Amino acid sequence: MKTIPGGVCAAKGFQAAGVRCGIRKNSTKEDLSLILSACEADAAAVYTTNLVKGAPLYVTKEHLKNGKARAVICNSGNANTCCGNGVAVAEEMCEAAARVCGIDPADVIVASTGVIGQPLDPTPIRAALPALYASLGADETASLNAAHGIMTTDTRVKSVAVEFSVGSRVCRIGGIAKGSGMIHPNMATMLVFLTTDCAIDAGLLEKALKTDVRNTFNMTSVDGDTSTNDMCCILANGLAGNEKITREGADFEAFMKALNTVTMHLCRCIAGDGEGATKLLECRVTGAATLEAARKIAKSVICSSLVKAAMFGADANWGRVMCAAGYAGVPAGLDKADVAFSSPAGTVLVCQNGFHHAFSEEEAKAILSEKEIDILLTLRDGAFSASAWGCDLTYDYVKINGDYRT
C-alpha cells in the first residue's frame, strides 16, 4: 500500500469540483462541491446520532435505501438544519445536480454544513451547478477544489488517497473531509466523502465503514459538541476490475487496511485543524480491562478542557489526565496507572503507579512544545488499547466561536 495523489479523484472513474456559488455573503471561498462517479456505485454511510438532524441527512438516507449512488453534492456556509423547508431544499439540490449530470436524483447524496437555523436559499446553488459540472476534473487539483468547497472554519484542506492490491489488481481509495468545530462524533462523523474503485459486496462495504469509523472518526473530538450534520459516506464503483470482494478474508483485510489508512489520516487532519488548535493530541490508552474502557478513557482525556488547556500551555499537568480518566465512567485501576507525554522531542514519564514520578520540567516543556503530542496512559488491568484524537484549547477557539455567525 502506498499514498498517491488524487484524493477523492484517485479512484478510477471519479471526478470532483468545487466552486463559489455565493452562500456566504462576505467570502470568496468555494462553497459548493460535486463528486461524480462514471457509473453506478455501491454506497454506504453513517450519520450523526444527534436528535436534531440536518435536512440533507433525511434525504440522503432515503436515497441510499437501495445502497446505490453516483454523485455527492455538498454546500458549506449553511447547514440547512432547523429551517422549515429544509427537506424540500435538499431534494431540490439533488434534482438540480442530477439534471446537469444526467443521472437519477435518487442517486445523489446531499450534505450541507455551516450555520444552523437560517433558511438555505437554493437559488445560488441551482445557478452555479452548470459551472460546477463544467469544472469537474479527475486529478489532485480537482479533489482539492472539492475539499475547499466543503470547508467552514477549517484552515487546512483535507484530502488523501492510497493504492493497494486485491489479487493481481491495483485498487485505489481516497477521500476528502471537513471538520474543525462541533466535532465530537458519535457512531458517525463530520463530513467525509470516500471513493474507491475496488469492487466489493455492498454488505461488506457497509461493514467495513461502520467498523472503521468506530476506531477513527468516533474517537475524534475537538470540542465535545456532536454536530447535527455529521455524515461519512463511501462510494465503490468497481472500476478497478478486481475480482469482487464477497467475503471476509485477505482481500477484505487489505481493503480495511487501506480504508483505515485514509480515515486515520483524515482524522488526524481534522483534530490537528480543530478550531484554534496549535497542537494535535493523541491519547493512547493501553492495558485496559475491556475495549470499551480503553475507548471511553482515551476519549474522556482528549475531551477534557483542562487537559487541552494544559497542552496549549505546554504544562505537564498530568493530574488532569488522571482526573479525566477517573470520570470516564468505566472501572479502571488508576492507582496502578502510569502517565507519560511523548512527542518528536522525546518521552517523559510523569506518573508511575498512580503517583508523581520525578521529572525535569524543562525536558517536559520541550516535549510539550512540539506540534504533535501523545498522551500515554498505561493501565495494568488487561490487554485492550485504544487511541483518541483531539487538539489543544486556545484563545483562538474562543475567538472563532465567540462570534461565528457574523
Specify the residue, 28 or 403, whose C-beta has the smaller distance to a copy of itself. Answer: 403
Cα–Cα distance for residue pair 27/406, rounded to 1 Å: 11
Specify the residue, 291 or 330, whose C-beta has the smaller distance to a copy of itself. Answer: 330
Specify the residue, 71 or 89, whose C-beta has the smaller distance to a copy of itself. Answer: 89
Task: Output DSSP code: residue 220.
Answer: B
223 touching a copy of itself, by CB under 8 A? yes
Cα–Cα distance for residue pair 117/120, rounded to 1 Å: 9
27 touching a copy of itself, by CB under 8 A? no
Q: DSSP letters of 275-343? A: TT-S-EEEEEEEEESSHHHHHHHHHHHHH-HHHHHHHHTT---HHHHHHHHHTSSS---GGG-EEEEEE
Cα–Cα distance for residue pair 337/322, rounded to 1 Å: 9
Please state the φ and ψ torsions of residue 7, each to the nearest 5 degrees.
Answer: 50, -125
Are the beta carbons of 297 and 247 closer than 8 angstroms? no
Binding window for a copy of itself (CB under 8 A); candidates: 6-14, 22-30, 36-44, 50-58: 50-58
402 touching a copy of itself, by CB under 8 A? yes
Residue 398: partners with Cβ closer than 8 Å, 6 or more residues away: 276
Binding window for a copy of itself (CB under 8 A); candidates: 25-33, 151-159, 260-268, 317-325: 317-325
187 touching a copy of itself, by CB under 8 A? no
Helix (H/G/I), strand (E/B), else coil: 134: helix
Specify the residue, 7 or 274, whose C-beta has the smaller distance to a copy of itself. Answer: 274
Given 48, 189, 263, 394, the catalytic residue:
189
Reference 76, options 176, 178, 155, 8; nearest CA is: 178
Rg (CA), the chain: 21
326 touching a copy of itself, by CB under 8 A? yes
Contacts (CB under 8 A) with a copy of itself, residues 261-290: none
Please state the separation of Cα 314 from the chain's center in Å: 26
What minimum distance in Å lies between the beta carbon of 293 and a copy of itself? 11
Selected binder of a copy of itself within 5, 124, 241, 319 (CB under 8 A): 319
Q: DSSP letters of 49-85? A: --SS--HHHHHHHHHTTTSEEEEEEEEEEE---SSSS
Specify the residue, 165 or 317, whose C-beta has the smaller distance to a copy of itself. Answer: 317
34 touching a copy of itself, by CB under 8 A? no
Specify the residue, 41 or 325, whose C-beta has the smaller distance to a copy of itself. Answer: 325
Binding window for a copy of itself (CB under 8 A); candidates: 104-112, 131-139, 197-205, 391-399: 391-399
The CA-CA-CA angle for residues 231, 211, 295, to 5°, reads 95
Catalytic-residue membership of 211: no
Specify the residue, 130 or 331, whose C-beta has the smaller distance to a copy of itself. Answer: 331
Residue 21: partners with Cβ closer than 8 Å, 6 or more residues away: 31, 32, 75, 124, 125, 127, 128, 132
The CA-CA-CA angle for residues 249, 253, 259, to 5°, reads 150
Number of residues that bind a copy of itself (CB under 8 A): 64
Binding window for a copy of itself (CB under 8 A); candidates: 136-144, 159-167, 180-188, 238-246: 180-188
What minimum distance in Å lies between the beta carbon of 49 and a copy of itself? 7
- x/- track of binding to a copy of itself for residues 120-159 (CB under 8 A): ----------------------------------------
What minimum distance in Å lies between the beta carbon of 334 and a copy of itself? 5
What minimum distance in Å lies between the beta carbon of 226 and a copy of itself? 4
Cα–Cα distance for residue pair 19/146, rounded to 1 Å: 8
Selected binder of a copy of itself within 4, 170, 306, 366 (CB under 8 A): 306
Binding site for a copy of itself (CB under 8 A): 49-53, 79, 81-84, 115-119, 181-182, 184, 186, 223-228, 303-306, 309-310, 312-313, 315, 317-320, 322-327, 331-332, 334, 351, 354-356, 393-395, 397-406
Active site residues: 189
